[in-house]
Amino acid sequence: MPKNFFSLYAYQFTLGDFNYLSSETLLNIILGAADESTSHYFNAERTVNEIFENEVFHGKHFANILKREKLNDFLQQYIFNFNNTADRASILSYMKAPSILYTYPRKMAIKDKQKITEVSIIEVTTLFSKTRGFEVIRERVVLKSPMFMNKNN
């Protein structure tokens, strides 16, 4: 589905802390903000391997099964409602979050009768360094959920 599918929730998803979806240790960094020791670590130029090694030893486990289940329940209900709406255009399609945190196109790329059968959430880790600039250093699926087609599943 296109990035704008959850545009009504874009602000919450952008500011949200989804560390609880990953079972791996993670550095406690949200939107570039970190605690003092993590911030101090990044004062020096680091290789990607050094960063990942540091994350294994100094990262924390944030996994939370209850939060994960609640997010999955939300996704199931949201997608179920979308899949079972005859007319895709509604008043809600015109209510958008402010365009301050994202710049992607907002056109719906899902054809009229298509149904969503699966949702994957991809964790993207980025890094900005003085020598290499901005780069994506990791992408991994942290939630893959088949969507139920009826309420009884």
Long-range contacts of the stretch 101-106 (C-beta < 8 A, 24+): 101/10, 101/11, 101/14, 101/15, 102/3, 102/10, 102/14, 104/3, 104/4, 105/2, 105/4, 106/4, 106/7
| Interior/surface letters 85-97, b for 16+ CB within 10 angstroms, e for the rest | eeeeeeeeeeeeb
Contacts of 146 (CB under 8 A, 6+ apart): 117, 118
Per-block mean pLDDT, blocks of 10 residues, the chain (153 long): 64 74 88 83 92 94 94 87 67 47 49 76 86 92 86 56
Q: Can you tell me which residue has the tokens 């699926």?
A: 141
Contact of 21 with 130, CB cutoff 8 Å: no
Task: Tell me what pLDDT residue 138 has.
Answer: 93
Q: Pairing mode, if any, of strands 29-30 and 133-146? A: unpaired
What is the DSSP annotation of 6-49? GGGGHHHHHH---GGG--SEE--EETTEE-HHHHHHTTS---HH
Contact of 42 with 54, CB cutoff 8 Å: no
What is d(CA 14, CA 134) in angstroms, rounded to the nearest whole number? Answer: 19
